[in-house]
Amino acid sequence: MRRHSRIRWSWPHTTRRHAQKPEIILFRGLRIRLTLWYCGILGIALVLFGTALYFGAQYFLLAPIKADATGRAQAQRNMWLHDSPAHACMDPVPHGLDDAPPHSFQGFAPPRLMLCFDQNGNLLTTANTNSLPATFLDTHLVKAVLQTDQSASDVVDGGGTVGSIYRYALLVTAPDDGTKSGVVLVGETIQPQMSALNLLLVLLLSIGGVALLGAGVGGLFLADRALLPARQAWLKQQRFIADASHELRTPLTLLRADADVLLRGRKHLDEEDTALLDDIIGETTHMTRLAANLLTLARLDSSNVHHEQEVIDLTELATRVVHRVQSLAEQQQITVQITSSQPWQVLGDPVLLEQAILGLLDNAIKYNHAGGQVNVRTMKQNGQVILEIQDTGRGIAAEHLPHLGERFYRVDKARARSVGGTGLGLSIAQESALAHGGQLHIQSASGQGTTVRLTLPVVQGHH
Protein backbone atom coordinates (compact mmCIF):
# COMPACT_ATOMS: atom_id res chain seq x y z
CA MET A 1 0.00 0.00 0.00
CA ARG A 2 1.41 3.36 -1.01
CA ARG A 3 1.69 5.84 1.81
CA HIS A 4 2.36 9.55 1.57
CA SER A 5 3.74 12.11 3.95
CA ARG A 6 1.94 15.40 3.64
CA ILE A 7 2.59 19.04 4.33
CA ARG A 8 -0.15 21.60 4.04
CA TRP A 9 -0.12 25.38 3.99
CA SER A 10 -3.49 26.88 4.91
CA TRP A 11 -4.14 30.63 4.93
CA PRO A 12 -7.45 32.46 5.00
CA HIS A 13 -8.72 33.46 1.59
CA THR A 14 -10.42 36.63 2.78
CA THR A 15 -7.42 38.55 4.06
CA ARG A 16 -5.44 38.27 0.86
CA ARG A 17 -1.85 39.32 0.67
CA HIS A 18 -1.93 42.52 2.75
CA ALA A 19 -2.70 40.63 5.96
CA GLN A 20 -0.41 37.74 5.09
CA LYS A 21 2.84 39.51 4.26
CA PRO A 22 5.84 37.81 5.85
CA GLU A 23 6.89 40.92 7.75
CA ILE A 24 3.38 41.31 9.17
CA ILE A 25 3.27 37.68 10.27
CA LEU A 26 6.79 37.90 11.70
CA PHE A 27 6.38 41.14 13.64
CA ARG A 28 2.86 40.30 14.77
CA GLY A 29 4.19 37.10 16.31
CA LEU A 30 7.12 38.92 17.91
CA ARG A 31 4.82 41.62 19.26
CA ILE A 32 2.47 39.07 20.82
CA ARG A 33 5.34 37.03 22.28
CA LEU A 34 6.98 40.11 23.80
CA THR A 35 3.67 41.19 25.31
CA LEU A 36 3.02 37.70 26.70
CA TRP A 37 6.49 37.57 28.23
CA TYR A 38 5.99 41.02 29.77
CA CYS A 39 2.56 40.11 31.15
CA GLY A 40 3.82 36.73 32.35
CA ILE A 41 6.73 38.24 34.28
CA LEU A 42 4.49 40.96 35.70
CA GLY A 43 1.88 38.36 36.61
CA ILE A 44 4.45 36.23 38.46
CA ALA A 45 5.69 39.32 40.31
CA LEU A 46 2.12 40.28 41.26
CA VAL A 47 1.34 36.75 42.46
CA LEU A 48 4.47 36.63 44.59
CA PHE A 49 3.82 40.10 46.01
CA GLY A 50 0.13 39.39 46.63
CA THR A 51 0.86 36.03 48.26
CA ALA A 52 3.48 37.56 50.55
CA LEU A 53 1.19 40.47 51.43
CA TYR A 54 -1.84 38.26 52.09
CA PHE A 55 -0.07 35.73 54.28
CA GLY A 56 1.88 38.49 56.00
CA ALA A 57 -1.35 40.29 56.86
CA GLN A 58 -2.90 36.99 57.94
CA TYR A 59 0.01 36.34 60.28
CA PHE A 60 -0.03 39.79 61.87
CA LEU A 61 -3.82 39.74 62.29
CA LEU A 62 -4.23 36.19 63.60
CA ALA A 63 -0.95 35.50 65.38
CA PRO A 64 -1.85 37.61 68.48
CA ILE A 65 -5.23 35.91 68.73
CA LYS A 66 -3.71 32.44 68.41
CA ALA A 67 -1.09 33.30 71.04
CA ASP A 68 -3.78 34.64 73.36
CA ALA A 69 -5.91 31.52 72.89
CA THR A 70 -2.89 29.31 73.63
CA GLY A 71 -2.09 31.28 76.78
CA ARG A 72 -5.67 31.13 78.01
CA ALA A 73 -5.87 27.40 77.37
CA GLN A 74 -2.68 26.82 79.34
CA ALA A 75 -4.02 29.01 82.19
CA GLN A 76 -7.25 27.01 82.28
CA ARG A 77 -5.29 23.75 82.27
CA ASN A 78 -3.17 24.92 85.24
CA MET A 79 -6.35 25.97 87.07
CA TRP A 80 -7.83 22.54 86.35
CA LEU A 81 -4.77 20.74 87.74
CA HIS A 82 -4.31 22.91 90.85
CA ASP A 83 -7.96 23.43 91.75
CA SER A 84 -10.72 21.35 90.16
CA PRO A 85 -12.38 20.91 86.79
CA ALA A 86 -15.65 22.20 88.20
CA HIS A 87 -14.07 25.48 89.26
CA ALA A 88 -11.87 25.85 86.19
CA CYS A 89 -14.72 25.24 83.77
CA MET A 90 -17.49 27.02 85.60
CA ASP A 91 -18.26 29.67 82.93
CA PRO A 92 -17.95 28.82 79.23
CA VAL A 93 -18.08 32.51 78.31
CA PRO A 94 -15.80 34.48 80.65
CA HIS A 95 -16.41 37.74 78.79
CA GLY A 96 -19.66 36.80 77.09
CA LEU A 97 -20.69 37.13 73.49
CA ASP A 98 -23.40 39.51 74.59
CA ASP A 99 -20.89 41.77 76.32
CA ALA A 100 -18.65 42.27 73.28
CA PRO A 101 -20.28 41.23 70.00
CA PRO A 102 -18.16 41.21 66.84
CA HIS A 103 -19.82 44.31 65.40
CA SER A 104 -18.62 46.30 68.44
CA PHE A 105 -15.14 44.89 68.13
CA GLN A 106 -12.66 47.36 69.61
CA GLY A 107 -8.87 47.19 69.72
CA PHE A 108 -8.65 43.53 68.71
CA ALA A 109 -10.20 42.29 71.97
CA PRO A 110 -12.65 39.68 70.62
CA PRO A 111 -15.17 37.77 72.72
CA ARG A 112 -13.72 34.63 74.30
CA LEU A 113 -15.24 31.20 74.67
CA MET A 114 -14.11 28.24 76.80
CA LEU A 115 -15.31 24.68 77.40
CA CYS A 116 -13.94 21.64 79.23
CA PHE A 117 -14.32 17.99 78.24
CA ASP A 118 -13.46 14.84 80.18
CA GLN A 119 -11.17 12.04 78.98
CA ASN A 120 -14.08 10.53 77.01
CA GLY A 121 -14.89 13.78 75.18
CA ASN A 122 -17.99 14.58 77.22
CA LEU A 123 -18.79 18.18 78.15
CA LEU A 124 -18.03 18.98 81.83
CA THR A 125 -19.54 22.41 82.36
CA THR A 126 -22.85 22.73 84.11
CA ALA A 127 -23.55 26.18 82.76
CA ASN A 128 -26.12 26.86 80.05
CA THR A 129 -24.50 26.44 76.63
CA ASN A 130 -27.58 27.16 74.52
CA SER A 131 -26.24 30.60 73.63
CA LEU A 132 -23.03 29.12 72.22
CA PRO A 133 -22.75 28.43 68.46
CA ALA A 134 -23.34 24.79 67.56
CA THR A 135 -20.10 24.69 65.57
CA PHE A 136 -18.13 25.67 68.65
CA LEU A 137 -19.71 22.80 70.59
CA ASP A 138 -18.64 20.29 67.94
CA THR A 139 -16.37 17.62 69.54
CA HIS A 140 -14.35 16.50 66.49
CA LEU A 141 -11.39 18.68 67.48
CA VAL A 142 -11.56 17.42 71.08
CA LYS A 143 -11.59 13.77 70.00
CA ALA A 144 -8.65 14.42 67.68
CA VAL A 145 -6.63 15.79 70.61
CA LEU A 146 -7.55 12.78 72.79
CA GLN A 147 -6.46 10.40 70.03
CA THR A 148 -3.18 12.10 69.07
CA ASP A 149 -2.24 13.45 72.52
CA GLN A 150 -1.33 16.74 70.82
CA SER A 151 -2.94 20.16 70.85
CA ALA A 152 -4.92 21.14 67.76
CA SER A 153 -6.75 24.12 66.31
CA ASP A 154 -9.25 24.96 63.61
CA VAL A 155 -11.58 27.69 62.40
CA VAL A 156 -15.35 27.20 62.37
CA ASP A 157 -18.25 29.39 61.28
CA GLY A 158 -20.32 30.52 64.22
CA GLY A 159 -22.99 32.01 61.96
CA GLY A 160 -25.07 35.09 62.59
CA THR A 161 -23.22 38.01 64.11
CA VAL A 162 -20.53 35.74 65.54
CA GLY A 163 -18.88 34.79 62.27
CA SER A 164 -15.61 32.87 62.20
CA ILE A 165 -14.32 31.39 65.46
CA TYR A 166 -10.76 30.26 66.08
CA ARG A 167 -10.72 27.16 68.33
CA TYR A 168 -7.71 25.82 70.22
CA ALA A 169 -7.88 22.50 72.10
CA LEU A 170 -5.26 21.54 74.74
CA LEU A 171 -4.90 18.15 76.39
CA VAL A 172 -4.92 18.04 80.20
CA THR A 173 -2.82 15.25 81.77
CA ALA A 174 -2.13 14.36 85.38
CA PRO A 175 1.33 15.59 86.46
CA ASP A 176 2.15 12.46 88.47
CA ASP A 177 1.30 9.59 86.08
CA GLY A 178 0.48 11.40 82.84
CA THR A 179 -3.01 9.99 82.53
CA LYS A 180 -5.49 11.92 80.44
CA SER A 181 -7.79 14.07 82.49
CA GLY A 182 -9.61 15.93 79.74
CA VAL A 183 -9.38 18.68 77.15
CA VAL A 184 -9.64 22.45 77.43
CA LEU A 185 -11.26 24.07 74.38
CA VAL A 186 -10.78 27.82 73.94
CA GLY A 187 -12.35 29.93 71.23
CA GLU A 188 -12.11 33.51 70.06
CA THR A 189 -14.10 35.21 67.31
CA ILE A 190 -11.95 36.35 64.38
CA GLN A 191 -14.66 37.65 62.07
CA PRO A 192 -13.20 41.19 61.82
CA GLN A 193 -9.81 39.77 60.90
CA MET A 194 -11.32 37.38 58.33
CA SER A 195 -13.38 40.20 56.84
CA ALA A 196 -10.23 42.30 56.53
CA LEU A 197 -8.40 39.38 54.88
CA ASN A 198 -11.27 38.75 52.46
CA LEU A 199 -11.34 42.43 51.54
CA LEU A 200 -7.58 42.36 51.03
CA LEU A 201 -7.91 39.28 48.78
CA VAL A 202 -10.61 40.95 46.67
CA LEU A 203 -8.49 44.08 46.33
CA LEU A 204 -5.41 42.07 45.36
CA LEU A 205 -7.33 40.11 42.72
CA SER A 206 -9.05 43.21 41.34
CA ILE A 207 -5.94 45.35 41.26
CA GLY A 208 -3.91 42.47 39.85
CA GLY A 209 -6.44 41.83 37.09
CA VAL A 210 -6.60 45.51 36.15
CA ALA A 211 -2.80 45.71 36.25
CA LEU A 212 -2.44 42.70 33.95
CA LEU A 213 -5.03 44.09 31.56
CA GLY A 214 -3.26 47.44 31.51
CA ALA A 215 0.07 45.67 31.10
CA GLY A 216 -1.32 43.76 28.11
CA VAL A 217 -2.56 46.91 26.38
CA GLY A 218 0.55 48.88 27.28
CA GLY A 219 2.76 45.93 26.39
CA LEU A 220 1.31 45.77 22.89
CA PHE A 221 1.97 49.48 22.46
CA LEU A 222 5.51 49.31 23.87
CA ALA A 223 6.31 46.17 21.87
CA ASP A 224 5.12 47.90 18.72
CA ARG A 225 7.34 50.89 19.48
CA ALA A 226 10.28 48.64 20.35
CA LEU A 227 9.91 46.70 17.09
CA LEU A 228 9.67 49.85 14.96
CA PRO A 229 13.44 49.94 14.23
CA ALA A 230 13.31 46.24 13.31
CA ARG A 231 10.40 46.91 10.96
CA GLN A 232 12.27 49.74 9.30
CA ALA A 233 15.36 47.54 8.97
CA TRP A 234 13.21 44.80 7.41
CA LEU A 235 11.71 47.19 4.88
CA LYS A 236 15.14 48.59 4.04
CA GLN A 237 16.41 45.06 3.55
CA GLN A 238 13.51 44.24 1.23
CA ARG A 239 14.12 47.41 -0.79
CA PHE A 240 17.83 46.62 -0.93
CA ILE A 241 17.16 43.08 -2.19
CA ALA A 242 14.75 44.37 -4.83
CA ASP A 243 17.09 47.15 -5.93
CA ALA A 244 20.17 44.92 -5.92
CA SER A 245 18.37 42.18 -7.86
CA HIS A 246 17.15 44.70 -10.40
CA GLU A 247 20.57 46.32 -10.81
CA LEU A 248 22.34 42.97 -11.14
CA ARG A 249 20.23 41.80 -14.05
CA THR A 250 21.73 44.23 -16.56
CA PRO A 251 25.46 43.57 -15.86
CA LEU A 252 24.81 39.82 -15.69
CA THR A 253 23.06 39.95 -19.05
CA LEU A 254 25.94 41.93 -20.55
CA LEU A 255 28.50 39.56 -19.04
CA ARG A 256 26.81 36.56 -20.56
CA ALA A 257 26.43 38.32 -23.90
CA ASP A 258 30.17 39.12 -23.92
CA ALA A 259 30.98 35.50 -23.10
CA ASP A 260 28.71 34.31 -25.91
CA VAL A 261 30.45 36.64 -28.36
CA LEU A 262 33.86 35.31 -27.34
CA LEU A 263 32.68 31.72 -27.69
CA ARG A 264 31.73 32.32 -31.31
CA GLY A 265 35.41 32.26 -32.07
CA ARG A 266 36.09 29.19 -29.93
CA LYS A 267 38.22 27.67 -32.72
CA HIS A 268 40.74 30.43 -32.12
CA LEU A 269 40.71 29.94 -28.34
CA ASP A 270 42.61 27.55 -26.16
CA GLU A 271 40.66 24.68 -24.69
CA GLU A 272 41.13 26.07 -21.17
CA ASP A 273 39.76 29.47 -22.24
CA THR A 274 36.74 27.84 -23.84
CA ALA A 275 36.01 25.88 -20.66
CA LEU A 276 36.39 29.06 -18.62
CA LEU A 277 33.90 30.91 -20.83
CA ASP A 278 31.45 28.01 -20.53
CA ASP A 279 31.75 28.27 -16.74
CA ILE A 280 31.14 32.03 -16.93
CA ILE A 281 28.00 31.51 -18.99
CA GLY A 282 26.75 28.83 -16.60
CA GLU A 283 27.38 30.97 -13.52
CA THR A 284 25.86 34.11 -15.04
CA THR A 285 22.78 32.09 -16.04
CA HIS A 286 22.46 30.85 -12.48
CA MET A 287 22.98 34.32 -11.00
CA THR A 288 20.49 35.84 -13.46
CA ARG A 289 17.87 33.30 -12.42
CA LEU A 290 18.68 33.92 -8.74
CA ALA A 291 18.40 37.71 -9.17
CA ALA A 292 15.08 37.32 -10.97
CA ASN A 293 13.71 35.07 -8.23
CA LEU A 294 14.87 37.44 -5.50
CA LEU A 295 13.25 40.35 -7.31
CA THR A 296 9.99 38.40 -7.60
CA LEU A 297 10.00 37.52 -3.89
CA ALA A 298 10.81 41.09 -2.92
CA ARG A 299 7.85 42.32 -4.94
CA LEU A 300 5.61 39.66 -3.39
CA ASP A 301 6.76 40.71 0.09
CA SER A 302 6.07 44.37 -0.58
CA SER A 303 2.50 45.44 0.13
CA ASN A 304 3.05 48.63 -1.90
CA VAL A 305 3.53 46.85 -5.23
CA HIS A 306 0.44 46.59 -7.38
CA HIS A 307 -0.28 43.20 -8.91
CA GLU A 308 -2.31 42.88 -12.07
CA GLN A 309 -5.75 41.33 -11.68
CA GLU A 310 -7.05 39.63 -14.79
CA VAL A 311 -9.41 36.80 -15.55
CA ILE A 312 -7.05 33.98 -16.55
CA ASP A 313 -7.74 30.61 -18.12
CA LEU A 314 -5.58 28.44 -15.88
CA THR A 315 -5.67 25.53 -18.33
CA GLU A 316 -4.42 27.72 -21.19
CA LEU A 317 -1.73 29.22 -18.96
CA ALA A 318 -0.55 25.78 -17.86
CA THR A 319 -0.48 24.60 -21.48
CA ARG A 320 1.68 27.57 -22.46
CA VAL A 321 4.14 26.88 -19.63
CA VAL A 322 4.29 23.17 -20.58
CA HIS A 323 5.34 24.17 -24.12
CA ARG A 324 8.07 26.40 -22.66
CA VAL A 325 9.65 23.54 -20.69
CA GLN A 326 9.42 20.93 -23.46
CA SER A 327 12.99 21.53 -24.60
CA LEU A 328 14.35 21.15 -21.06
CA ALA A 329 12.27 18.00 -20.58
CA GLU A 330 13.59 16.49 -23.83
CA GLN A 331 17.17 17.14 -22.71
CA GLN A 332 16.44 15.25 -19.48
CA GLN A 333 14.49 12.55 -21.37
CA ILE A 334 11.33 13.42 -19.45
CA THR A 335 7.83 13.26 -20.90
CA VAL A 336 5.62 16.22 -19.94
CA GLN A 337 1.95 16.15 -20.86
CA ILE A 338 -1.16 18.08 -19.91
CA THR A 339 -4.36 16.10 -19.76
CA SER A 340 -6.91 18.88 -19.16
CA SER A 341 -8.75 20.66 -21.95
CA GLN A 342 -11.66 22.34 -20.14
CA PRO A 343 -11.03 26.01 -19.34
CA TRP A 344 -11.09 27.07 -15.69
CA GLN A 345 -11.16 30.77 -14.90
CA VAL A 346 -9.25 32.37 -12.03
CA LEU A 347 -8.53 35.98 -11.11
CA GLY A 348 -4.90 36.98 -10.71
CA ASP A 349 -1.61 38.23 -12.07
CA PRO A 350 -0.68 36.17 -15.15
CA VAL A 351 3.05 36.90 -14.80
CA LEU A 352 3.17 35.71 -11.16
CA LEU A 353 1.07 32.63 -11.84
CA GLU A 354 3.15 31.75 -14.90
CA GLN A 355 6.35 32.05 -12.90
CA ALA A 356 4.89 29.90 -10.12
CA ILE A 357 3.81 27.16 -12.53
CA LEU A 358 7.16 27.39 -14.32
CA GLY A 359 9.01 26.89 -11.04
CA LEU A 360 6.90 23.87 -10.11
CA LEU A 361 7.39 22.26 -13.53
CA ASP A 362 11.11 23.06 -13.43
CA ASN A 363 11.41 21.15 -10.15
CA ALA A 364 9.33 18.24 -11.45
CA ILE A 365 11.68 17.89 -14.42
CA LYS A 366 15.04 18.51 -12.75
CA TYR A 367 14.43 16.12 -9.88
CA ASN A 368 13.02 13.35 -12.05
CA HIS A 369 14.92 10.47 -13.60
CA ALA A 370 15.60 9.67 -17.25
CA GLY A 371 12.51 8.20 -18.87
CA GLY A 372 10.24 9.68 -16.19
CA GLN A 373 6.94 11.47 -16.64
CA VAL A 374 5.32 14.69 -15.51
CA ASN A 375 1.54 14.90 -15.71
CA VAL A 376 -0.23 18.25 -15.52
CA ARG A 377 -3.97 18.67 -15.18
CA THR A 378 -6.49 21.26 -14.03
CA MET A 379 -9.77 20.55 -12.26
CA LYS A 380 -12.41 22.12 -10.05
CA GLN A 381 -13.28 20.91 -6.57
CA ASN A 382 -15.44 22.58 -3.89
CA GLY A 383 -15.45 25.95 -5.62
CA GLN A 384 -11.65 25.92 -6.10
CA VAL A 385 -9.63 25.57 -9.28
CA ILE A 386 -6.74 23.15 -8.83
CA LEU A 387 -3.58 22.83 -10.89
CA GLU A 388 -2.00 19.45 -10.18
CA ILE A 389 1.55 18.53 -11.20
CA GLN A 390 2.49 14.91 -10.62
CA ASP A 391 5.94 13.49 -11.36
CA THR A 392 7.56 10.07 -11.17
CA GLY A 393 10.76 11.34 -9.58
CA ARG A 394 12.57 10.19 -6.46
CA GLY A 395 10.17 11.95 -4.08
CA ILE A 396 10.90 13.79 -0.86
CA ALA A 397 11.65 12.26 2.52
CA ALA A 398 9.23 13.04 5.34
CA GLU A 399 11.78 14.99 7.39
CA HIS A 400 12.16 17.56 4.59
CA LEU A 401 8.46 18.21 4.03
CA PRO A 402 7.97 20.70 6.92
CA HIS A 403 10.79 22.88 5.52
CA LEU A 404 9.59 23.07 1.93
CA GLY A 405 8.76 26.64 1.02
CA GLU A 406 11.53 28.06 3.21
CA ARG A 407 13.74 30.30 1.13
CA PHE A 408 16.98 28.75 -0.11
CA TYR A 409 16.04 25.39 1.44
CA ARG A 410 17.15 22.44 -0.68
CA VAL A 411 16.48 18.76 -0.08
CA ASP A 412 19.71 17.74 -1.78
CA LYS A 413 22.01 20.74 -1.74
CA ALA A 414 24.73 19.16 -3.85
CA ARG A 415 22.46 18.00 -6.64
CA ALA A 416 20.31 21.15 -6.53
CA ARG A 417 23.41 23.24 -7.21
CA SER A 418 24.50 21.00 -10.06
CA VAL A 419 21.13 21.27 -11.84
CA GLY A 420 20.97 25.02 -11.38
CA GLY A 421 18.44 25.20 -8.55
CA THR A 422 18.26 28.30 -6.37
CA GLY A 423 16.05 27.02 -3.56
CA LEU A 424 13.44 29.71 -4.30
CA GLY A 425 11.06 27.97 -6.70
CA LEU A 426 8.68 26.63 -4.05
CA SER A 427 8.92 29.88 -2.10
CA ILE A 428 7.76 31.82 -5.15
CA ALA A 429 4.96 29.33 -5.81
CA GLN A 430 3.85 29.49 -2.20
CA GLU A 431 3.90 33.30 -2.04
CA SER A 432 2.12 33.52 -5.39
CA ALA A 433 -0.60 31.20 -4.11
CA LEU A 434 -1.01 33.34 -1.00
CA ALA A 435 -1.07 36.53 -3.05
CA HIS A 436 -4.03 35.11 -4.97
CA GLY A 437 -5.85 33.85 -1.87
CA GLY A 438 -4.93 30.25 -2.61
CA GLN A 439 -2.93 27.43 -1.10
CA LEU A 440 -0.06 25.14 -2.02
CA HIS A 441 -0.21 21.46 -1.09
CA ILE A 442 2.66 19.00 -1.45
CA GLN A 443 2.23 15.25 -1.19
CA SER A 444 5.30 13.09 -1.51
CA ALA A 445 7.05 9.95 -0.34
CA SER A 446 10.69 9.01 -0.81
CA GLY A 447 11.14 7.01 -4.02
CA GLN A 448 7.49 7.39 -5.04
CA GLY A 449 7.31 10.75 -6.77
CA THR A 450 5.74 14.04 -5.78
CA THR A 451 2.32 15.61 -6.33
CA VAL A 452 1.97 19.38 -6.04
CA ARG A 453 -1.42 21.07 -5.98
CA LEU A 454 -1.87 24.79 -6.54
CA THR A 455 -5.36 25.73 -5.35
CA LEU A 456 -6.91 29.05 -6.39
CA PRO A 457 -10.38 30.57 -5.90
CA VAL A 458 -12.59 30.25 -8.94
CA VAL A 459 -13.90 33.42 -10.57
CA GLN A 460 -17.45 34.10 -9.44
CA GLY A 461 -19.94 33.43 -12.20
CA HIS A 462 -17.65 31.00 -14.10
CA HIS A 463 -18.46 27.32 -13.89
SS (H, E, C) 82-102: HCCHHHHCCCCCCCCCCCCCH
Q: What's the CA gap between 190 and 108, in Å, rounded?
A: 9
State the number of CA atoms in the 13 A half-sphere of 152 facing the CB: 15
Give the pLDDT confidence score for residue 153 in this predicted structure.
92
CB atoms within 10 A of CB 345: 18
DSSP 1: -
Residues making up the chain, counted from first to last: 463
In one-letter notation, the amino acid at residue 340 is S
Question: Would you list the domain boundaries of the chain?
Answer: 48-197, 229-301, 310-457
Q: What's the CA gap between 399 and 6, in Å, rounded?
A: 11
Give the pLDDT confidence score for residue 93 in this predicted structure.
53
Asked if domains 48-197 and 229-301 share a fold, the reply is no
pLDDT band of residue 401 (cuts 50, 70, 90) is low
CA 72 centroid distance within chain: 57
CATH architecture under which domain 48-197 falls: 2-Layer Sandwich (3.30)
Which of 47-61, 95-109, 338-352: highest mean pLDDT?
47-61
What fold does the segment set 229-301 form as a domain? Answer: Helix Hairpins (1.10.287)
Comparing 196-210, 232-246, 306-320, 374-388, the range with the smallest average pLDDT is: 232-246
Average pLDDT, the chain: 76
Give the pLDDT confidence score for residue 92 in this predicted structure.
58
pLDDT band of residue 197 (cuts 50, 70, 90) is very high
Give the pLDDT confidence score for residue 423 in this predicted structure.
59
Residue ranges with strand state E in 248-372: 310-313, 335-338, 345-348
> With contact defined as beta carbons under 8 Å apart, do 145 and 151 qualify?
yes
What fold does the segment set 310-457 form as a domain? Answer: Heat Shock Protein 90 (3.30.565)
Q: What's the CA gap between 141 and 393, in Å, rounded?
A: 81
